[in-house]
Amino acid sequence: MVAELLQLCRERGLKITVIESLTGGLLADRFVSVAGASDVFLGGVIAYQDQLKSYFATVSPSLIEAQTAVDAEVSSQMAAGIKSRIANVMDITPEKIIGISTTGVAGPEPVGDNKVGTCFIGISLFAGESVYSHEFEGSRQQIREQACDKAIEALREQLGQ
């Protein structure tokens, strides 16, 4: 499925970048595991700490303070922010870049009012941002893997596949 998604982006002249918290690099690994991904996948940031979400993706610190980082709006700002930041660094028009974010709670303890398994996936495309909310069950690793699966599904959906 990832190879097909990369091919679709290649055909449309789109590039992908990620900013991961919950998934901690697993989503980027899904992309780079496909031979030839480098012409579509630009790279990403693992922003486990809140300050890095603000620095790399310009997420509002006051939003994180008020809502925690496990929040739909934080996920939206992460996706839009990394897309914008990468567009500036790579000198690529933002309309040609897809930003994907993951944030949530893998456990073992809840974060604020968010229970273990809560996940938000942000997708930033030329048409704006979309956020997908999920509640997963399982171990930390299972939750992280499910989040990657859903992020890829969300991108396919956004691209009309």
CA distance 122 to 120: 7
CATH number of 73's domain: 3.90.950.20
Res. 30: pLDDT tops 80: yes
Total domains, the chain: 1
- Structural domain that includes position 106: 2-158
Who has greater pLDDT, 74 or 127?
74
Query: With 90 as the cut, is the pLDDT of residue 127 above it?
Result: no
Alpha carbon distances (Å) from 40 to 43, 48, 144: 9, 24, 23
Q: What is the pLDDT of residue 161?
A: 76
Q: Is the pLDDT of residue 115 over 80?
A: yes
- Check whether 4 has a pLDDT greater than 80: yes
